[in-house]
Every structure is written in C-alpha cells, then in structure tokens.
Structure 1
Amino acid sequence: MPNTLPGLIKKLIGEPAEFILEQRIFHTVCVVTVIALFLNIFSNLYIDMPQLAALMAGGMVLVAVSYYLSRIARRFNLSIILYNILSNCLLVANFFDNSGTRGPTVLIFLLGCFINISVVPKKQYWFWIAVNIAIVLSLMGLEYVDASSVPSTYPDRESRYFDFMYSYLVVAVIISVVTTYIRRSYDFERLRVEHKADELEQSNITKNKLYAILAHDLRAPLSSIQNYLEILSEFKLEESERMSIKKDLLNATQNTQKMLSNLLTWTKSQMEGVNVNLATVNVSDALQTTLQLQKNEAQRKGITLISKLEDKAPVVADPDMLQLIVRNLINNAIKFSNCGDTILVKSDYNDTECCISIIDTGIGIPPDQQEDMFSLRAKSTYGTGNEKGVGLGLLLCKEFTELQGGKIWFSSEPGKGTTFCIGLKVYNGDNFVKNELKAVTNG
C-alpha cells in the first residue's frame, strides 16, 4: 500500500517530465475539488438544501471534464478557459441559491482567485483575476442595493453554521494542498538547480585542469623529446654521448606515456563513466605481472621493490582497476624515492577487509600538500629524477577504489617516506558479491 498510493497520486497528477508545474497543480486542484464536491452533495442534502446538492453535482461534472481536457486530452489552455467560465457561472448561481453574503460563496470565490493565481497561464493571468474580482464586487453591490434579490435559503441557523464550517474546511484543505505542492516543487527545483550548478562548477574545474595539462604538462616533455631528437639528427656525437641522450630520451618518452595514459583514463572516466566488473580476486595473483614490471622500473633507478603480498582470502575487486591503482601508487613511490631506497608492497587481513600497503622510504609529502592529494587541486611536482606528472594519478586511485566499494588513505613524514593503503572488502559469499555490486552500481 505505501508504494501504491504515491504511485496512484503521481499518476493522477502527472509526471514532471510530461506536465509543467502549473498543469500538475491544476490536476491536483481538480482531484481534490471533485472529492470535496462529491462530499458536499451529501452535506447539502443533510442540511435539506437539494438545489445546492444538484448544483454541486453539476460542479463536480464540470471539474471532471476540465481535468480530462488537461490531463488526458492535453488541452490545458482550453481546460482553463472552460473551467473559469463554467465555475464562475456556477458560483454566481450558488451566490443566489446559497444566501449571498450570508453564505460561504464569497469564500469560494476567493478560493477560485487563488487557483487562478496558481495555475492560469501568463497570457490569461490578469484577465481571469479581474473577472473574479469584478463578479464578486458586482454581486455584493447588487445585494447591497436590493437585499430581496438574494433571499436567505437556510432552513435554520444550524444549517448555515454547518455549511460555513464545511466550506471553510474544503477551502483550507485545497489551499493547503496546493501551497504544499508548490513549496515541494520549488524545493525540488531549487535542489536540482543547485546540483546542476555544482556539476557545472566541477565541469569547469575539469576543463581548466585539462587545458592546463595540455598547455603545459604535456607540451614540456614533448618539447624535450623534440630537442633530444634534433640533437641526435643534427650533431655528430660521441657514442657515450649518444647513449646518454638515448637513455634520457627513453625516460622522457616513458614518463610522457604514463602521463598520457593517466590523462586519457581519467578523462574517459569523467566523460563516459566507468564500468565496474567486480569479481573475487586473489591479490598476489592479480598483481603479479604489475609488480614484476614495476620492479624493473625501480631497478633502473636503483630502488629495491619488495613484495610481501599474501592470499589469506580473496577480495571483492575489479582486477583491471586494482592493477591500475597499485601501478600508480608504486610509480609515485618510485618517483619520489632516491637511489638506494626501498619500496615494500604488503597485504594485511582481518575478518572483513584486506589492506594493501605501498610503503616507501622516499622524500615524503610536504604537510601543506597532503590535504589536496586526492583532488583536482593537487599540484603536479617533479620527482627525485626530474620525472614529471600531471597530478591525476592519486585522483584516479581514489575514484577507482571507491567504485569498488573500498577506501584509500595515506600517511607521510617528510624525509622519512610515505605509506598508501587500499582497503578492499574480503569475499564471504556469493550474496555478498551481488550486494556489493548493486551498492557500487547505485552509488
């Protein structure tokens, strides 16, 4: 029932994607008014006023037709015109049949004016409000000039009080429903606009970061490569000099390739979204090839890479994402370590989590940079071997770790090294994997 009732109400009023706010408010008014008029038929019969009961039945048919024209036939403007013409005619008849100013008709006219303010299109707005005011003032003036033209139709004092009480409740309920719906719609639209503004701001930050990378961080290493090639092609060099330049050229090319790879991966994740393929993964098996390649990278810089990964239990992860994360973290460790330093990769387990740690004895991270390490505000810095990055590697690591339902953190002390930790959920059954996949997808 909790899901059925809101669904029925939404179906009666109309979806925001199909109907503008004014149309949905009008549908709400029509539904509430039809119910109120239906009950009013019996209340008028109860106080022995059959003519008014018949008038309420006619009004109910009128509102139902107006609702049909707007909600089903999609003729909103026509529906508003018909609704105002016939409702004003019925209210005029109600004024004479229901004791004029001694009855609640003026109160209902005021409700009609409120409805017009809420739903009438801009082109018709002032016209129908002016018509409403003119009719009320004319009827009251007529009654003032000739009181006998509007006789009292209540059989007794109790009937009048009952009619006023019921009419007030109907008017109060309709105004409350419409006002609440308007406020909720306003709040929803405001939050949607704020969300769009946040997305636009993030998009601008992303765009500016990409421009900065393309304008500077990629242009600089490509210029270096061009200079190396020009020297090799234009000058006669000793073999030792040629080998030195070739080595520098290879390093520059490799660093640029890593930068470009991270840049393209991150850009794709921002523009297209990333598919997460969670599976049960043995950490040491999944990272074996990555670690071997990184050992070769570390050796070229005179750094020792030690692996102490254990497979006490499989973890829930995307193997490709896990490799990218660990590869980036080890690359960072190599980048900010000196010849003779050590990098340790190990895993620790508890009942629910596996923590993969990358521990280096390098130069560490300055305290003023630590707060922004996982954001676009992170500054690209040169490594101990003058390696250049684009400041995207750690942002990728954070986004991809969280997409797998994990978490990432670090601790660092300048001059003593840095430890990065990746926390992933330990597998404990098929149902767990399905739930995790569903949670990640929804997130």
Structure 2
Amino acid sequence: MATKWKNTTEKIKTGFHKERTQKILGSIFGIFGILVLGVLIKYQVYYITTTSMMIGVVGNISLCAGLCFLSEPYLRWKYEKIAEEDYETWQQKRKGSYRNLYIAGIIGAVLSMFYMWGIMNFYNLYWGHNYSAGYVMMLTVLIQFIIAQILLKKFWARRLDQMMARMEEMNQKRIAEALEIEKKSLEKVSRSDQLRVDLITNVSHDLKTPLTSMVGYLELIKKEELSEMVRDYVEVISARAEKLGEMINSLFNLAKASSGNVEFHKENFEMNRLLEQIFADMQDRIKESGLTFVKQYIKESTALFSDNTYYYRICQNLIENTLKYAAKGTRVFVKTSIVGAQGETAENPQAATEITSETEKDRTGEMTKRKICVEITNTSAYPMNFEADEIVERFARGDKNRSSEGNGLGLAIVSTYAKALGGEFDIKIDCDQFKACLICGDL
C-alpha cells in the first residue's frame, strides 16, 4: 500500500513539474513572439520588406512554440473532466471549442485586415508604399489559426481515446458483473434442478416399498375364493397398481437420467437387429393394436458402439408411444438410414454407401462420427394441437382428454436418454402425421 501511494505521489509530482515547465516555456516564447511582432508593428516604416519578413518568421516561430507549450495545460484545465462524461457531452464541448477557435480566428483576421487598411491609408501618406508588415500580420493570423486548429484536433483525439478506454473499461466491468449474475443464476437453477431431481428420485424410491406390498397382498387375495364381482375389482386394482408401478419406474429412470448419474455399458450391436428384437418381444401387443408396421431398413451396416440397454428402452418407448396414440387400422413406417457429416440422410443403398464413406471426413477434413437415424411415422388418432417442443416435456400428452394409456413420460424419457447417449431426438408434425426422429451415434 505504501509503495502504491509512493508511486502515485511520484506521478503527481512528475505531472506537476511537467505542466509547470510547459507553462514557463510557453509564456517565454509567447511573450517573446508578441514583443517581436509588436516591434514590427510599431517600427514597420523603418524596415524593408526582407527585414519585415524575417522579423515575422522569428515572431511566428516563437508564437507557435508558445502555443504548443500552453495549449495542452489550458485545454486540460478547461476540459479537465471531459473523459469522465458521456459521448454526447463530449461532442457538445468539442463543437464549442472549435466554435470559439473560429470566432478567435475571425477576430484576428478582421484585426489584421484593419491593420492592413490603416497602413494603406495612413502610413503610406507619409512614408511611402510598404505593405510588408500588413502581409506579415495577415499571414501570422492564418498560421497561428492553423497551428491552433491542429493542436485542438490532437487534444480532442486524445480525449476521445481516453473516453473510449474508460467506456471500454466500464463495459468490461458490466460484462463481468453480468456474467457473474448469470453464473449465479445458472448455479441457482442447477441447484433447483438438482433438488427437483433428488425430490423425484426420493419420492419414487419411497413409493416403491408400499406399492410392492400392495401388489404382494393383491396377489395373495387373488388366490382366495372370491365372488366374481370382487375378483373383477381386484383385477382392476391390480392393473392400476401395475400401471402405477410402471409410472414410478419411468419417473425414477427419468430423474436419474436428468441428473446425469447414468452409468453406460458400451458394446457393439446392430440397430436393425435391435429393432427386430423389440418387435419380437412386443409381437402380441402389436397384433392386438390393429396397426400394420412397415419396416424400411437400410441394407448397409447399422453397427453402433454404445449402450444396448438404453437404446432398447428408447426404441421400445417410441413403439409403445405409437401403439398408444396411433389411429387404429393405419400403417406405421419404421425406417433406418445413415446420416452423413452434414446431416444428409441416405434414401437408398447406393447413396448410403456414398454417405458412409463421406462420414469418415467432413468437408473441412476433420474426422466425424458415423450416425444412424431411426424414423417412426404414424397417423395420430387424436388432434395434434400442440407444438413439437411441448410433447417432449414431462407429463405432456398428445391425448388432452387423457383417455389413452399414456402417462406423459415416454417421449420425455426418450429425449433425456438420447441426449445422455450423445444422440439427438426430434419430432416433426405434418397434419395428422407424427414422425419421431432418433439420431444415434457411438459413445
């Protein structure tokens, strides 16, 4: 602290000595120049043209030196706090200084012309025709005006740089403050999200224990001799309990995936074969749905190195979503393709081969990962009066009347898992056509 104060004191002393030296030198040169030109004005009749011009040169040089030394202290004193003000105030004061300079220049020009007129009409009546002193005065006014204008321009250029530097410093400070506020806001949101995820996880976990007991007792009740009516009630309760269990498991998995605490087990598998396995496991439900699934698998390899279990769950959720919301008696198209480096999708085997080779390097020559695209397109049984972004939110359902089996978590789980696996999930809606697009890549 003492060193900093000492350095500041030294800078103040240095600046004070420099300014005082400028004032002294400026005053000496200025007074000398005025005296030289005053001598020329008073005794101009005694000097020939050459002598008058030489005296004028000496006087102008001295005045220019004085002006150079005195202009900076004077302008700094008059506009001392200009760098701390805004640009509009700076501009007004700048214009005012130039206006004052022009007024002074006009006054000097008028006085020099008046002096020239006096020489032509009075002195020459007695001393002959010698206008050199008048010319010297007119040139002096012009030269000093030009020098003063240059010095003023340089002064305002320096002040502008200072003001811009101050504004830049203020902007940097504001940006830093804004970033700090944004950081705190993100941390707050992150903590809020984490608390929400923890709450859902804990609630889901706490619900599992009583639900498991309920399901166990329901199974015991089913083994007892019951009337048909009571048995029907028990079956309804059992079905609802099973659905509640599925919802709790889905909610638990969604919370776990959202928190990022997911452990992946990478392995090699084929996407086409994975889809066929899902269709085989869901064969009974597909037959009961009344839907016709049209499979359009790409003939090229759809090998991936990722988590087979999570991709199974993602694709299973997409097919289950189709079974719940697709119009009965319609066709569902399941298509796989290879996505190129720039996002192109192959529509035929030949194009797939070309894109597969192009995925090795993109147009910039950098290595890119090969991605598989899975598209499931169906005709909706319900009016799709929602946006694509809304339907992937938690508990968002296409069936606003909630008459279907869905719980609003299926697509949310798909979207969350896809991001966790480094893939992408998108939805496209065209009239009654609902298309789910899943882009899969290696982990």
TM-score (norm 1): 0.49
